[in-house]
Amino acid sequence: MRYKYFGLLIILAVLGLIVGSFGLAERLLNGLNPTALGSYIPWGLWVAFYLFFLGLSAGAFLVTIMTYVLGMKQFEHIGPLAAFTVLIALLCEVQFILLDLGQFHRALYQFFLSPSFTSLMTWMFVLFNAMLVIYALKTFLLIRGNMIKMADKEKGRLLKNIYKLLVLGQTSYSEQQRANDRRWVGILAKISLPVGLLFYGTNGTFFAILISRPVWNSALTPLLFIVAALLSGGALITFLTYLFRLKDPLNANGFCREEQLCLDLGKIILFLLIVFLALEALQFFVGYQTGTAAIVTSLNLIVGGPYWWAFWIVHVLIGSVIPLLLLLFGSHNPRSVVWACFLIFVTFLAVRFNFVMPDLAVYKLEGLEATFYHPRLRTEYIPSLNEWLVSPWIVSSGLIAFLMGTRFLPVVTDETGGAANE
């Protein structure tokens, strides 16, 4: 569909790609050397970004489940958009994690040659690929019919050929085929429910099983991960629903269908935000009550360490308190809800950063800090310029794919399943 900020966003994304390409080139030429990572803080900004995109994909996943498993009709016309969002978020995730690997080319074959099923990373690999295949198929089946129509109507030769290629040369689409595709979407959605829950749960469990990391090593962590993922991703999809609103027809309250949808989603987001904050408070309460030095030091780092502002200002104030007030007192105004959702998802990187860093930033053995000085053997971490440059490259690549998809593919549809830009 055509939308207002397409040109501006494309320019931003291209700028991001240009600027980021310097970082990417340096990363590819010099490996992890240009990063500020070290042996005591082996994961940094890119892992935080990975978790951020993981969350974004989860919210879109939630919408697809509500639409195609729970049969909530009101979400049906954002179903293809949600499925497509999952796909793009997964592709951004994998780029971040691949570039974070010291020998990333080996990841492309070692997982097949010598997988270890005692490692949760192997399961993440399996579940990630399962999600990728499921959502690629689902998106394809959801937009195939409209894409065939678009291939037929399109005047431009290039676009026509692209559509033809994407629909594998198919020229007609019967009602029976449509019904068949819908049936398969339903089956895939049902498969994606356990796969998705396992995938998002595994990402939390990945951290929770580490006995040497007292803040992560809790049964609460996987639960916190799932709620955090649904919250941030749900907020994103609400924002996108508003962004792609058609403004027609208006209901009795003067809202278009998408705005009404945002209000419905806002209630879910409010619930998830309260649950997330309660779980987070519980994590702090239990941590401080146990009084274990390692836990208290890590928690102190979150609330009073060098990145205190990321917690108090970015996460608590901008990402939690203001959205909470907007969702509580502006629940009848789509703009308030959308602003709340925007603030939640853009500040969620701070939550992820605050999750990854503090447990790593505590020396695991007393005296380790005083021996063998080297910048790679410290617990201070400020992301390097290279890490900051690579990040916009990946984000921009995702943004371009998303913009192209929403502009030229029928992922934004009207209620009857027709493409909005037909």
Partner 1 sequence: MARILPSEDLLSRMQRDLKRSISGDRSKIKWSMVIDLAKCAGCHACTVACVAENKLPPGVVYRPVLEEEIGTYPNVRRRFIPRPCLHCQNPPCVKVCPVTATYKNEQGVVVVDYNRCIGCRYCLVACPYAARTSDFGEWYTKGTPGTSENLLGKEKCSEGYENNPAAEYGKKWPRRGKGSPIGNARKCHFCLHRIENGMLPACVTTCIGRATFFGNRNDPESLAAQLISSPRVFVLKPELTTKPAVYYLK
Instruction: List residues binding partner 1 (CB under 8 A).
Output: 30-33, 35, 37-40, 42-43, 100-104, 106-107, 110-111, 113-116, 118-122, 125, 209-213, 360, 363-368, 370-372, 374-377
In the complex, minimum distance from the CB of residue 35 to partner 1, in angstroms, rounded to a whole number: 7
Write down the least CB distance from residue 114 to partner 1, Å: 5
Helix (H) / strand (E) containing 193: helix 175-208
Q: Least separation, in Å, of the C-beta of 31 and partner 1?
A: 4
Whose Cβ is closer to partner 1: residue 172's or residue 371's?
Answer: 371
Q: What is the DSSP string of 351-396?
A: HHHHHHHHHHTS-SSTTGGGSS--GGG-S-----HHHHHHHHHHHH
- What is the distance between the alpha carbons of residues 288 and 311, in angstroms, rounded to a whole number? 17
CA distance 228 to 249: 34
Closest CA to 234 of 275, 203, 199: 275
In the complex, the smallest distance separating the C-beta of residue 32 from partner 1, rounded to whole angstroms, is: 5
CB of 115 to partner 1, least distance (A): 7
User: What is the smallest separation between the CB atom of 124 and partner 1, expressed in angstroms?
Assistant: 8
Rank residues 119 and 253 by Cβ distance to partner 1 and give the closer one: 119
299 close to 288: Cβ distance less than 8 angstroms: yes
Q: Which CB atom, from 31 or from 304, has the smaller least distance to partner 1?
A: 31
Q: Are 337 and 376 in contact (CB under 8 A)?
A: no
The answer to whether residues 307 and 353 touch, using CB atoms and an 8 Å cutoff, is: yes
Closer to partner 1 at the Cβ: 30 or 290? Answer: 30
CB 364 to partner 1: min, Å: 5
Considering the complex, state which of residue 258 and residue 359 has its C-beta at the smaller distance from partner 1.
359
Whether omega before 383 lies within 30 degrees of 0, making that bond cis, reads: no
Q: What's the one-letter identity of residue 239?
A: F
**How near is the Cβ of 97 to partner 1 at its closest, in Å?**
8
Place of tokens 């007609």: 172
Nearer to partner 1 by C-beta: 331 or 379?
Answer: 379
State which residue, 123 or 393, has the beta carbon closest to partner 1: 123
Q: Which is nearer to partner 1, 249 or 375 (CB)?
A: 375
- Please say whether the beta carbons of 78 and 49 come within 8 A: no
Complex with partner 1: residue 362 or 412, whichever CB lies closer: 362
CB-CB contact of 296 with 287 (8 Å): yes
Residues near 176 by Cβ (< 8 Å), separated by ≥ 6? Answer: none
Long-range pairs for 152-158: beta carbons < 8 A, 24 or more residues apart: 153/422
Name which of 209 and 303 has its Cβ closer to partner 1: 209
Strand extents, DSSP E, 93-185: none
Q: Which two tokens stand for residue 308?
A: 């205190």
Whose CA is closest to 213, among 138, 299, 281?
299
| Beta carbon nearer to partner 1, 110 or 290 | 110
CB of 43 to partner 1, least distance (A): 7
Nearest distance in Å: CB 294, partner 1: 10
Task: Give the separation between CA 8 and CA 282, rounded to whole angstroms.
Answer: 42
Query: Does residue 210 come out as left (phi exceeding 0), alpha (psi in the -120 to 50 range) or beta?
Result: beta
Bridge partners for 250 per DSSP: 256
Shortest Cβ distance from residue 216 to partner 1 (Å)? 9
Q: Report the SS3 class of residue 250.
A: strand
